[in-house]
Chain A
Amino acid sequence: MSSSARTSRAPVCAVSSNTVPAAYEKSVFINCPFDDDFQPLFHAIVLTVAARGFTPRCARETEGQADPRIVRIARGLMESKYSIHDLSRYQGQGADNLGRFNMPLELGIALGMRYLKEGTPAWHNWVALVPEKFVHQKFISDLAGFDPPDHDQQPPTVIRKVAAWLSMQPDFTQPTPTAKTILEAYPSFCDRLADAKADSLGTLTWPSIIKSAQVVVSGMPSV
């Protein structure tokens, strides 16, 4: 594939969705829990990705499609040069205290893309966000040596860490809103999401999250 093709659309892949007009090198696939407890962090990641000049993508984008969820996730990952995997929820849940393995499974797909496609136009880079105090060294010790960014489950830390990681990527450009600017805009983003949710009778859709992010980001100053 030529370099010009690389800068326009996602590389051709077997499970292409043909629906999203986002450039491959600007797409960041977000892999994290989507439940209410995690929502403030998920929204913080979405806003940071959008503010730093990238397009947030996630499995919610293809909700309602007939394909199995893992296929939709694999497709989204293949259409994105970058991915963010939050591994901060590592404890068992529910009456049976079972751990959930979806995040590591999907990180595995990203890892495969990273190393199998190195040197090709479909090269992929990923980051795992982990809990504080090096707990990840016990539950996912194979990430030793990567020093993944940690966070305290608070939006300000997540914004700072995600903004920093994105700044290191070759497709990041300046000028950009500072992390402080993003953090200051976060409450107004949340207000918009609350309004959108109320307008949709309690359902917050991916299109309304992206629209809110787009409105907030377009008003942000950058340096």
Chain B
Amino acid sequence: MNVFISYSRKNGNVALKLSEHLSQSGVSPWLDLWNLNAGEDWNQKIAAAIEAAEAFVVLVGPGAEPDRLQRFEWQQIIEHEFYLDATKPMIPVVIDSTEIPGFLRTRNALVVNTSSIDFKSLADRIAEALGKPDATIDPVQLKRGREAREQAVKSLKEYSLELEREDVTRAGLRGLK
């Protein structure tokens, strides 16, 4: 299976070691370090690799913000809306308790600590999950998401009603002047 590895370049060593172990587990990781050459249009090659990927492993953190290249990768994944495709395995690997971005929230995340990563075990867990796309979805988060969606629609309605009430009040005050 052709798996795109998305990572912040400060996690270069983690991405490299994980990709090596994934290769030994029968997975074909697409890692920029192995596939980009000097003189090429890197963005174009990364975008093409994301479009061709059958699955994604996304290293998240440490720190809340992805770096520039990873932000580009996420934009590609999001703009193609691959994260909304339940048949496409997407596995977040969260490093050092980083807050997970919204688009990965409904996926089952593997949480690791940089100081003690067992790469073989992590690669085996990822390889196993890749074989069962349904297992990469977190049903609890999906249920919470449905509730949040209902709440969002309700909140928008409340906001709309509040604005209408204020509008009527202001119109009344203008009428008094």
Contact = CB atoms under 8 A, between A and B. Distances in A.
A153 interface: no
B155 A22 contact: yes
Interface stretch (B29-37, B112-120, B159-167): B159-167
A223 interface: yes
B57 to A, nearest CB: 17
Interface string A52-64: 0111000001001
Contact of B156 (A50, A147, A167, A168): A50
**Most A CB within 10 A of own CB, among B68, B102, B145, B149:** B102
B170 A174 contact: no
Interface string B54-81: 0000000000100010011011001101
Interface residues of A, number: 43
A173 B102 CA distance: 6
Nearest to B166: A19
Contacts of B48: none
A170 B98 CA distance: 11
Interface residues of B, number: 38
Interface string A128-162: 00000000000000000101010000000000100
**Most A CB within 10 A of own CB, among B71, B78, B101, B146:** B78
Interface in A41-82: 50, 53-55, 61, 64
Contacts of B74: 168
B146 A168 contact: no
B155 A167 contact: no
Contacts, number: 112
Given A19-B166, A160-B79, A164-B79, A169 B101 contact: yes
Given A55-B155, A164-B75, A210 B163 contact: yes
Majority-rule SS of A interface residues = loop
B140 interface: no
Interface in A162-187: 163-164, 166-176, 178-180
Contact of A205 (B75, B99, B162, B167): B167
A118 to B, nearest CB: 9
Contacts of B153: 214, 217-218
**Most A CB within 10 A of own CB, among B145, B149, B156, B157:** B156
Contact of A173 (B83, B148, B158): B148
B160 A207 contact: yes
Contacts of A170: 64, 99-102
A118 B64 CA distance: 11
A20 B162 contact: yes
B101 A207 contact: no
A53 B159 contact: no
Contacts of B158: 21
Contacts of A85: none
Interface of A: 19-23, 26, 50, 53-55, 61, 64, 145, 147, 149, 160, 163-164, 166-176, 178-180, 205-207, 210-211, 213-214, 217-218, 222-223
Q: Which 8 A-B pairs have the closest CB atoms?
A: A172-B102, A53-B152, A207-B163, A173-B148, A173-B145, A167-B103, A164-B78, A174-B145
18 contacts: A19-B166, A54-B152, A147-B68, A164-B78, A168-B102, A168-B103, A170-B64, A172-B103, A173-B149, A174-B84, A174-B102, A174-B103, A174-B142, A206-B163, A210-B159, A214-B160, A217-B153, A218-B157
